[in-house]
Structure 1
Amino acid sequence: MTSELPLLIEPAELADHLDAPDLLIIDLCKDQVYDQAHVPGAIHLDHQRLLAGTQPAPGLLPDDETLSALFSELGLTPDTWVVAYDDEGGGWAGRLLWTLDAIGHKRYSYLNGGIHGWLAEDLSTSTERTEAEPGDYQVGEHDPRTSVDLDHVLAHYQDPSVVIWDARSEEEFAGVRAFAQKAGHIPGAAHYEWTDAMDKTNNLRLRDLDEIRRELADRGIQGDKQVITHCQTHHRSGLTWLLGKILGFQDIRGYPGSWAEWGNHPDTPVEKSE
């Protein structure tokens, strides 16, 4: 394997590197999907282990001890190149890569289209569960430019150099549907639903990146600003964070508290669409 793979990797290119000794492929598909077919050598990960799971903001990162144990179990080392994929178009894979980025591990890629893209290329698959070779991975200093907390959003949501990217559904953004005490969105937030980036006619690969870039720019989501993306628990916005990275945004951050935290907090302002 070369020392570096592209952030967005196509199935055929990944197929050429399956035997690389420093490659760790992580499958975040549903259990039954993994058992039916997965990329040879891929290790299955239950995506719930990427979330702290505590109320009212279950999407927050687990603590460092928990993450160290998880990545030790997966056999991660500082030299490992991680390729992540899922069966839903990139939400959980993006959440994993955001987690790695947050703890300072920058060697990672996303398999375009996930398992659907892989199967469409008629590449070899496996039905045997791959067991990880455990190691001793210790989470170090976090990258402060990957994640933001409630206080940061409260302090900056009105800043003209900052844009809040809401990746939830139109109904959630408008305040028609709510999964928290409050309905609506962070005042001034821009809406671009996570599924809008997927090509549903091409095995959930990302759509043309230049088209996506134009669509985002039309909504004020541009790489010359600090972009903070969220959904309900920073699962769907795992993909939108990843998309910002792929598009070359210099300052794209995830808000793991997301609407579960903002919409249940007594002192946060909320806006609804007319």
Structure 2
Amino acid sequence: MNHIVSLKWLLARMYEPDVVIVDCRFLMGQPDAGRELYEASHIPGAVYLDLERDLSAPVEEHGGRHPLPDIFDLTVAISRVGISNESLVVAYDDQGGMMASRLWWLLKYLGHEQVFVLDEGYTAWVDAGFPTSSQQKTLIPARYLATVQHNMLVEMDEVKELLGQDRVTIIDSREGPRYRGEVEPMDKVAGHIPGAINRFWKDGLSDNGAWKGADAQSERFADLDRDGELIVYCGSGVSATPNIIALQEAGFSKVRLYAGSWSDWISYSENPVAVGDEEGKKHVK
């Protein structure tokens, strides 16, 4: 796989000087839990980046529940933990790769190529008997120069303009009941962006939590136009990122993130909302 590395791969390289291991564990609704888990035990030498403090901007009226961080602030955050343009970054979490994928996407957005997500996550690392530590690494700041890849991102206005276009597929990464508008535990309005199809991000993982290979990912998206444009979203722009990795593993190249996602979309009261399945069953309100 191009963007995922195995536990044994990291074990063999974890002490190489250019490798930066980043712990991204975070529990929604428990903003301090990830940091506390990191302080108690982590992969030796790992640094910690927090989803809400480091990998998101403060919440405002628009932009969703996890707005993209300011480019300068993000560059400062990753430089502070020792990530330079030459670093090989391996991100991990214990949430199926969702938080690690957010960092993966952000670094790619800054123009960084050598960034990977650790397969299976921290619990699998511990269960394998690999080393852990509670000692925090002394941070030696690095210098990172961003080359922002604006083509990876799509804003709300453009999503709205592209609704209904034949060569554009909008992919909702949330679980089926949230996509269909049957439940909504996080946001004020239930439903999905009209015309979006549903591909739950966790379907990219095997039963044991390992990432599926390229062939299996291709099967998940077999009905999609490989030459068409794909726009991926979720609730707040976090769980969409594992689907972006899966799509790239499957060979899709025209993939963009709607970072504000559903929580941004519904912050504009005039935006249309669909419920139900898109296969002839939806209605728009």
With the length of structure 2 as denominator, give the TM-score of the two structures.
0.86
Stretches of 4+ moved more than 6 A in 1?
none
Candidates 7, 23, 36, aligned match of 1:27 = 23
Q: Does 1:168 align with 2:174?
A: yes
* Runs of at least 5 residues in structure 1 that lack an aligned partner in the other structure: none
Q: Does 1:269 align with 2:276?
A: no
Candidates 215, 234, 239, aligned match of 1:236 = 239
The separation in 2 between residues aligned to 1:175 and 1:265, in whole angstroms, is 18
What residue identity is the alignment partner of 2:51?
H
Candidates 75, 78, 83, aligned match of 1:71 = 78
Q: Does 1:46 align with 2:50?
A: yes
In the superposition, relative to structure 1, how do residues 222 and 51 fare at CA in structure 2: closer, same or farther (>3 Å)?
farther
How far off its partner does 1:226 sit? 1.7
How far off its partner does 1:206 sit? 1.3
What residue identity is the alignment partner of 1:37?
S
Write out per-residue CA displacement over residues 89-123 of structure 1, whole angstroms, 9 at most, x where no aligned residue. Answer: 01110110111111111211111111133223322
Q: Matched residue pairs, number? A: 265
Instruction: Give the conservation status (yes or no) of the 8 Å contact 2:3–2:245.
Output: no
Q: Does 1:227 align with 2:227?
A: no
The separation in 1 between residues aligned to 2:259 and 2:71, in whole angstroms, is 15
* Runs of at least 5 residues in structure 2 that lack an aligned partner in the other structure: 26-33
How far off its partner does 1:181 sit? 4.2
Q: Which residue is 2:30 aligned to?
A: none
Identity %: 28
Q: Does 1:156 align with 2:170?
A: no
Q: Which residue is 2:101 aligned to?
A: 94
Q: Give 3-state SS (helix, strand or coil) of 2:76's partner.
A: helix
Q: Which residue is 1:191 aligned to?
A: 198
How far off its partner does 1:252 sit? 1.6
Instruction: Give the conservation status (yes or no) of the 8 Å contact 2:49–2:55.
Output: no
Candidates 6, 13, 20, aligned match of 1:17 = 13
Write out per-residue CA displacement over residues 41-81 of structure 1, whole angstroms, 9 at most, x where no aligned residue. Answer: 11111111211132232322111221121122111111111
The separation in 1 between residues aligned to 2:182 and 2:156, in whole angstroms, is 23
The aligned runs of 1:174-213 (5 Å cut-off) are 174-178=180-184, 179-200=186-207, 202=208, 204-213=209-218
Candidates 125, 130, 134, aligned match of 2:132 = 125
